[in-house]
Structure 1
């Protein structure tokens, strides 16, 4: 495969790679006779994304890889490969710098070299050359049909982005409730979490706010919000409309976008099944019954036994039978007391020195006595007469008689 792109196409290709990098860890490259397809699947296989760049998107395109070592038309074939997302991001790292400096981009997939060769021709005659090692793999496909969905509605990507700003950044899953005249969005709260301790966000979108609105089945689906944010980041930068197709709970949700005859993208996201929700609800009700039963038993034990009861952090009453069988350890008296150290400390505990019982402890002096002791040097003479040893050179003369 070999293709040539201009500066505008390089910008779109870079944004597409950044969008795929937020979803999966590997980039699948599949050249076809109609264009180039970039795909990725997340680790849990709950999200599938595919960008298809058609022939008008390129200045020059050939999907057949040529044998550069020994040119032979019979050995030419189509290569389908994958490479780590980190390696391709090292080439298309900065969208702004590529948009300002790159004039053309040439991408080739030689047959025998097992390298993805990317060459940037920048301004002022600067050429950047990258060789990325790839791995041959089979084609990655997701079975879906756009005509098989009962409900379809489309809107501008900016409208979706402004709607999702109301949700907290830590929100992981969002629930879409479809009605005949509106779409209701709310953050999904797990059954294991106490709803009274969570922030509930709900948004209602009227039918008139959509470009196209056709809901044939009123349903409620829940899917991950991380992939949706990645889709909107690409669509909003290029000012594209986003089509959404839904069928029912447990069925995948399909987001798609298209730019004339240049490129198109499909994003297939898995949704939560109602079976999981009912199972979680039943398990939660079972846990509540067990808590109520244990609390009733503990209340009975509290009234029948004079032993005081203990409560933990979850306000669950401990059984008094455990208090009868619990034996408190008795520490023998010792003249030395050892200090308790941190478990990470490497210093062995040392005994504290014994305190003498007949030690006479005097009370501290008064403030006036302490001040007199501090400033006593200020009250002394500046010069002190001290007897110093000296040698007498001339004795005193005797007095006149």
Structure 2
């Protein structure tokens, strides 16, 4: 297997590696004549990301066999791409044969310098797949990455998990609907009561989807999803750099939330790459803790100081502890979420999702792991 990338395709490739590296530690590579697929799974098995590239993205793309599988450490590829992309004319990757233990990377720089790297690979990786049908999710919305980042900027930078609550405005009582003025979506910081924290700040942000979202679909009862912010921000950065919107698909607490680029190609053509991020959501619904449809107040008091609302934002002083330095232990995801036997379909297998009180050591035994072998670098 070998390929060469240059120009805007090289920027897409580098952007993809950066995003994948913020999700997992190991990159599983699957190459076939029809596509090149990258997969990664985080250590807690709560986040899975895949990015696929079509052959027309590359200057040259060759696969000598029907299927090539291997895995490399993402930190090794990040070391290869430490050279600024703007100074690289093209980059080539070569796996001499399916059983090779090293992957060769060559950078041709505009300065005339050629840099060659060899990274250690595992030729028998433990392939992890999540098979989810986006059409099976009952609710979804499309948002511009820059707009979503602007909304997230209202929350503390140390926030580890966020809750999104989606409501059907048409199903609300008329008096409640008039009070929230069309703000059918709520973002709130998740507070883990089991962990010790150093802050008492809790943020709630009510959103009118017709103003902030490109598209919004949700009917029926309110639903909520609590999931990690780290991977969300990484995917938003990836989509913003690719100049595409983000499409989020969801169902309810305990079910996975899926994110994908929304290319919006009106001429019927397709993009030469695609991406999917799947995040586990907290099993316990936050809607049970109180009335989530209560409209925000104009101002609140925190330890005697007034904190005024800006737009639809309100921040509450609370006796509950705030976000911790580490993500919650209440979410986990295993390799197969869906049933693909053709007879039935389930977006969630109870056996693939475990509670926080289960023994995590048992699950960690089968996690993807490749020994850290420093790559050999040579510049020519």
TM range (shorter): 0.5 to 0.7
C-alpha root-mean-square deviation of aligned residues, in Å?
A: 2.4
Task: Give the TM-score normalised by the residue count of structure 1.
Answer: 0.62
How many angstroms apart in 2 are the aligned matches of 1:213 and 1:180?
A: 10
Aligned with 2:154 (options 151, 166, 178): 166
How many angstroms apart in 1 are the aligned matches of 2:88 and 2:109?
A: 4
User: In the alignment, is residue 192 of structure 1 matched against residue 194 of structure 2?
Assistant: yes
How many angstroms apart in 2 are the aligned matches of 1:180 and 1:150?
A: 12
Residue pair 1:242, 1:255 contacting (<8 A) in 2 also: yes
Aligned with 1:119 (options 85, 106, 112): 106
Q: Secondary structure at the match of 2:78?
A: helix
Residue pair 1:150, 1:215 contacting (<8 A) in 2 also: yes
Q: Secondary structure at the match of 2:202?
A: coil
Aligned in 2, Cα 1:277/1:122: closer, same or farther, shift over 3 Å? same
> Corresponding residue for 1:82?
71
Q: Secondary structure at the match of 2:19?
A: helix
> Corresponding residue for 1:263?
273
Determine which structure has the larger strand proportion and give its number. Answer: 2
Residue pair 1:258, 1:265 contacting (<8 A) in 2 also: no
> Corresponding residue for 1:244?
248
> Corresponding residue for 1:346?
none
1:276: Cα distance to partner?
10
1:131-142 matches, within 5 Å, as 131-136=118-123, 137-142=125-130
* CA shift digits 1:159-201 (9 cap, x unpaired): 1111101110111110000012421100011233699962111
Aligned in 2, Cα 1:245/1:25: closer, same or farther, shift over 3 Å? same
1:62-77 matches, within 5 Å, as 62-64=62-64, 76=65
User: In the alignment, is residue 26 of structure 1 matched against residue 12 of structure 2?
Assistant: no
Aligned with 2:92 (options 87, 97, 106): 106
How many angstroms apart in 2 are the aligned matches of 1:114 and 1:51?
A: 23
How many angstroms apart in 1 are the aligned matches of 2:113 and 2:163?
A: 50
> Corresponding residue for 1:326?
none
Determine which structure has the larger helix proportion and give its number. Answer: 1
How many angstroms apart in 1 are the aligned matches of 2:167 and 2:119?
A: 49
1:258: Cα distance to partner?
5.0
1:50: Cα distance to partner?
0.5
State the aligned residue count: 266
Unaligned runs of 5+ in 1: 65-75, 282-401
Indicate the structure (1 or 2) with the bigger Cα radius of gyration.
1
* CA shift digits 1:335-363 (9 cap, x unpaired): xxxxxxxxxxxxxxxxxxxxxxxxxxxxx
Aligned in 2, Cα 1:194/1:117: closer, same or farther, shift over 3 Å? closer
Q: Secondary structure at the match of 2:254?
A: coil
Aligned in 2, Cα 1:276/1:216: closer, same or farther, shift over 3 Å? closer
Residue pair 1:254, 1:267 contacting (<8 A) in 2 also: yes
Residue pair 2:53, 2:273 contacting (<8 A) in 1 also: yes
Residue pair 1:56, 1:261 contacting (<8 A) in 2 also: no
1:266-285 matches, within 5 Å, as 266-274=276-284
Aligned with 1:212 (options 215, 218, 236): 215
Residue pair 1:258, 1:264 contacting (<8 A) in 2 also: no
Unaligned runs of 5+ in 2: 170-183, 264-269, 291-380
1:40: Cα distance to partner?
0.5
How many angstroms apart in 2 are the aligned matches of 1:113 and 1:4?
A: 19
> Corresponding residue for 1:149?
137
User: In the alignment, is residue 53 of structure 1 matched against residue 53 of structure 2?
Assistant: yes
